[in-house]
Amino acid sequence: MDQTKDIGSEIMMVQLLFKSKPNSPTTEQFRKALEKRFGDLGEIPYVEPSKKSSGDMFMFPIPKYKAVFKDKPEGVPVIAAFLSAAVESGINIDDMARQQMWDVPNASEIIDECRHTIIVNTTLGRALSYQDQAEILLGQVDAALECYPECIGVYAHQSGKLITPEMFQNAKKYSLSSRFVQMFVNARFFNIPEADEMLVDTLGFYVFGGADVQVHFKKMNPDHIVNYVYDVAVYQFDNEFPIKSGETIGSIDEEGNMQSNPKWNVQYEDSMVDPMRTVLDICCGEFAGGNR
């Protein structure tokens, strides 16, 4: 990949949101839910639950996916982890992040109603390819939703993407890349009123070391640009981020339809908006913002 950041630099953390502490599944129920998605988990060592714990903690090795290290060339199974937060802890999401939750009209209502969360992540996952990490995360969330049907929202911490459980289920008909982008990559929109310009960027790929997408533009429909950056993101995911600095890619017309000409120039550069990360910046010709 023509980028400056290494693959697997972070681990994406997903939080399931609840109005109150949900009913706890048994270890066997959770195991069966995971085996539907990942096959036989083999023998799982029993872990004595802490008497001090006020919530669930489940950790399952996933033999299908192994992290290889110099001292462990045979590989070590990654761990699917599920950790319940303290009771009545809720979730703290600032106003800026809430303003970028375009996919769920009642996002703030869901957040304000949340009084309990369960964290979903993958221990040792950063040693895997981004495709495997995405597949595991989608499977983990799917299993967790089966075990915790009371869930009212699914929040991807590093991308600021909030979806509903219904949205997650409806996306199962799509490819791995489309599902991951729809569920866990967030397209953000920013107005730059002093310049009469706008910015759309994606947030989420940086977690796996991949480049997010950024378009600084004017006089175009921002909804069209949002759809465009999502399409570019899916293409990058499907093809192992093949686009290189200095190349050109297809553009969109005034109706938002993809077109082969004119071509738009691209290059990797630092993002215009935090978090600071490498992004694929797309210069949209006569509609480009800034001084180019």
pLDDT of residue 45: 56
pLDDT of residue 2: 44
The band of 18, judged by pLDDT with boundaries at 50, 70 and 90, is very high
**Mean pLDDT value across residues 246-267:** 96
pLDDT of residue 49: 47
**Mean pLDDT value across residues 13-30:** 94
In angstroms, the CA 63 to CA 129 distance is 15
**pLDDT exceeds 90 at position 29:** yes
The band of 227, judged by pLDDT with boundaries at 50, 70 and 90, is very high
125, 7 contact by CB (below 8 A) = no
What is the average pLDDT score of the chain?
Answer: 90
- Which is nearest to 233 in space by CA: 173, 161, 291? 161
pLDDT of residue 9: 52
pLDDT tens digits for range 127-163: 899 999 999 999 999 999 999 999 999 999 999 999 9
Q: Specify the DSSP class assigned to residue 288.
A: B
**200 beta partners:** 189, 215
pLDDT tens digits for range 143-152: 999 999 999 9
Of residues 195 and 110, more confidently modeled: 110
CA distance to 3, 43, 73, 220, per residue, from 254 (Å): 30, 57, 53, 7
pLDDT of residue 43: 77
| Cα Rg of the chain (Å, integer) | 20
pLDDT of residue 73: 87
**Mean pLDDT value across residues 200-204:** 96
Of residues 175 and 55, more confidently modeled: 175
pLDDT of residue 292: 61
The band of 250, judged by pLDDT with boundaries at 50, 70 and 90, is very high
Strand ranges (E), the chain: 14-18, 57-69, 72-84, 116-123, 153-156, 161-163, 186-192, 197-203, 212-217, 248-252, 258-270, 278-283
Considering only the C-alpha atoms of the chain, give the largest distance between any 2 of them, rounded to a whole number of Å. Answer: 64
DSSP codes of every residue in 4-40: SSPTT-S---EEEEESSPPPPPPHHHHHHHHHHHH--
pLDDT of residue 52: 45
pLDDT of residue 55: 60
Reported pTM:
0.90
pLDDT tens digits for range 33-67: 999 999 999 876 544 444 444 568 899 999 999 99
Strand ranges (E), 70-108: 72-84
In angstroms, the CA 263 to CA 39 distance is 45
pLDDT of residue 48: 45
Of residues 285 and 54, more confidently modeled: 285
